[in-house]
Each structure stands twice: as C-alpha cells, then as structure tokens.
Structure 1
Amino acid sequence: MHVVYAVEEVPIPDGVKVAIEKTGPFDYVVKVKGPLGELVKEFKNTPVIMSLSDGKVVLEVLNAKKREYALLGTYKGILKNMFLGVTKGWRYKLKVIYTHFPMLVKVQGNQLTIENFLGRKSKIVLEIPKGVKVEVKGKEDIVVEGIDRELVSQFAAAIQAATELRGEEKPSPHGREGGLGVVDGIYVVGYEHVKA
C-alpha cells in the first residue's frame, strides 16, 4: 500500500488550548491545556506533519506506506484522548475478588499495598505514578483517576497484573483438572469519564 498524501483533522473542543512545537526535523511536542489540567506529549522521529489550523489539529503524511498511514489514526486517537482527559478526565474501576483469603488493599502515601493475597505473608507494593489518584472504596472497589489516559490505564493494568496467576500457580480450586482455577485477584471492570 502506498498513499501519496493523506490528512486527518482533529477538532479542538471549546475551553482547550493546544500548542504544537517542532523540536527537530521529525520531532514534535504537543501541549494540551484544559479545565482539569495540562498534558504534554512528545512525538519523536515521526513521519507525520503536525500543525494547527482553524481550531483543528491537522495531521498530514506524504508518500506514506502502510505504517506511516496507520500512524495518522493512532495520533488522532492520542489527541482525542488528551482532549477528553483535560476536559472530562478518566476513571478506571477495579474489583477485588477473593474466595477464601480476604485481601486488604490500601493506599499509603504514593503506594498501593495489597496484603494477604491468597494468604501470602508478603505484600505487593505498587508505586502510584504522579498525576494518578487512587481510592479504595470499601473492601472490594478500587478507583484509579487522572487526566492522562495512558498513565491511568497502565496503572490499572499494573494492579491487575500484580495479582494475576499463571501456569502452576493457578491450581483448580477443587483439586481436579479443567476447573476455573483460582479466581482471586483484582480485575479492571470498566472505565468512564470523571465529569459527565
């Protein structure tokens, strides 16, 4: 596949300010500022040309092969998520599931601590990234919030991965083959915007 010229436009929502700075021949820094905060994203060594025009971010690519053409859609999605982040924010919801050993999840400073996972004495400690807010509601609900979707979703996935069992660690709960296995863990159950 070869495309001579392709362009995508991303409309900038009301109340959002965007600045695009060219830092090198193929490098850009995009700053997005809105009511909830500011996000900065670097695009390095990219074949996509970025510019501002009439309240839109214009993404262009010349002599694009399949990879370069695909980057247009990727960058468009990244910019839309940045706009939604600074106007509405992102919230990921997680559920604590246990069958026998009750897990204790708590936030201490900038760390999330998971205790008594499968009755283990060792704690699982995760560092909460800057710009991410974590709240434990009751014994079974965890809420991860922030304006940077990439950061919020990656931390929610890190929480889930910290309690994920693989291979030999995942025995059948009734001592027989083919069962569901141990379902204990913390799972992402959904996401939404902080502001409606």
Structure 2
Amino acid sequence: MSTKQIEEFKDQVDIPEGVTVTVNKHMVSFVGPLGKTHKSFRNIPINIEVNEGKVLLTAINQKKKDYAILHTARSIIRNICEGLVTGYTIKMKVVFSHFPITVKVEGKKILIENFQGERAPRITHSVGNTKVIPKGEDVILTGEVWTDVTQTAANIELKSKVKNKDHRVFLDGIYSFEKNKGIEK
C-alpha cells in the first residue's frame, strides 16, 4: 500500500480555544466554557491521541469501512468541541386542532399533557445535559452536545405521534422547525 493511501486513514481535529480534551484509553473527556462531557469510542476501531491542540485520529485497518468510521469519529469530536464553545438550539412547535396540548418539565422528565384529550400524560426524558424550556406554543431545547439535543427532540416528536388515525387529518403533535448553533435564551 502506498504512503498516500496510508495517509488517507489519518485525520485530525483542531481543538478550539477554551476547550481541553483528554484521552483515557477509549474514553475522551471534553471541558469547555459551557460545561463538560465525555464520549466513549470503545466500539469504534480508531486510535485517538491529543497532541499540541489537535486530536489525531488513526484508523486501525485500511478498508473502506474504516475510512468512513474515521470520518464519523472526526465529526463527533468536532461537533462536541464546537458545542462546548457555542452550544446548540432546536425550536419545536406545539400543534393541535381541538385539545390544547401542554408541555411541562419535571427534572429530566418531559410531560406532554392533554394530547388528543388523553387523561394520562405522555412521558419522555431528556438526554444528557439538554435543557427543555416550554414557552407558550414553542418548546426550546438547548445544550452543548448536538447528539443529545437532537435525540431529545426526536423523543418528543415520537411521543407526540398520532397512532391508529389518519395522519393526514390528525396533525396534532410537537414538531421541530428550527435548528441553530448557539444557545438561545
């Protein structure tokens, strides 16, 4: 295999100012101005090193699949570093036609009450350090880790899904309509 092909299986991520990254075997810890988090790369076959403000990634094997996994790991690390500096925001809209839906937050629990007139609330949970703020007919999700914020939004959308009815007619639910970098207050 030529040296050019071997260089393709190496990549690096620049660490922004104010963010520190430490590696302990397969566990990568991040500390930034907005908080701290960690990510396990145990199931991803790459070697990770931190050197002079850069995270160096090397694939263990030289197959097409390993090339793709290497760039996935690069994107995960880059998104976490960016999120610890700027953060992420997702805005969701509460849509209903007859029964007014209310969203309440109790710790990590998110309660969706009066969905299609149901007596018991539908309950879902926020993932990671994601903050859920209901404001009238909007629900604002903010956090440092993009995967946690988007997974929380997906959990809310799935819990407010209409079942056993025609989804073209019954449009009730909570839907995301805006995704931004930066934490909105």
Q: TM-score range by the shorter chain?
A: 0.7 to 0.9
Partner of residue 17 from structure 1, selected from 20, 33, 55: 20
Equivalences for 1:27-46 in 2 at 5 Å?
Answer: 28-46=26-44
Find the aligned partners of 1:45 and 1:137 in 2 and give their Cα distance: 39
Scaled by the length of structure 2, the TM-score of the pair is: 0.88
Partner of residue 49 from structure 2, selected from 45, 48, 51: 51
Partner of residue 61 from structure 1, selected from 59, 62, 68: 59
Task: For residue 62 of structure 2, give the secondary structure of its aligned residue in structure 1.
Answer: strand
Scaled by the length of structure 1, the TM-score of the pair is: 0.83
Partner of residue 170 from structure 1, selected from 165, 169, 176: 165
Structure 1 range deviating more: 121-130 or 11-20: 121-130
Inter-CA distance 60–152: structure 2 relative to 1 (3 Å threshold) = same
How far off its partner does 1:72 sit? 1.1
How far off its partner does 1:74 sit? 0.3
Give 1:78's aligned amino acid: I
- Equivalent residue for 1:141? 138
Task: For residue 92 of structure 1, give the secondary structure of its aligned residue in structure 2.
Answer: strand
Find the aligned partners of 1:102 and 1:164 in 2 and give their Cα distance: 15
Are 1:117 and 2:103 counterparts?
Answer: no
Q: Is the 8 Å Cα contact of residues 15 and 81 (structure 2) preserved in structure 1? A: yes
Give 1:86's aligned amino acid: L
Inter-CA distance 192–159: structure 2 relative to 1 (3 Å threshold) = same
Larger Rg: 1
Find the aligned partners of 1:52 and 1:99 in 2 and give their Cα distance: 53
- Equivalent residue for 1:184? 172
Are 1:7 and 2:5 counterparts?
Answer: no
Give 2:140's aligned amino acid: V
How far off its partner does 1:127 sit? 2.9
CA deviations on 1:156-194 (whole Å, 9 max, x unpaired) are 11000001124xx2227xxxxxxx221110011122123
Find the aligned partners of 2:44 and 2:133 in 1 and give their Cα distance: 37
Q: Is the 8 Å Cα contact of residues 89 and 194 (structure 1) preserved in structure 2? A: yes
- Equivalent residue for 1:159? 156
Q: Is the 8 Å Cα contact of residues 125 and 152 (structure 2) preserved in structure 1? A: no
Gaps of 5+ in 1: 23-27, 173-179
Give 2:179's aligned amino acid: Y
Q: Is the 8 Å Cα contact of residues 143 and 183 (structure 2) preserved in structure 1? A: no
Gaps of 5+ in 2: none
- What is the Cα-based RMSD across aligned positions, in Å? 1.9
- How many residues get paired? 179
Task: For residue 80 of structure 1, give the secondary structure of its aligned residue in structure 2.
Answer: helix
Equivalences for 1:79-98 in 2 at 5 Å?
Answer: 79-98=77-96
Partner of residue 147 from structure 2, selected from 138, 146, 150: 150
- Equivalent residue for 1:76? 74
How far off its partner does 1:97 sit? 0.5
Partner of residue 99 from structure 1, selected from 97, 100, 122: 97
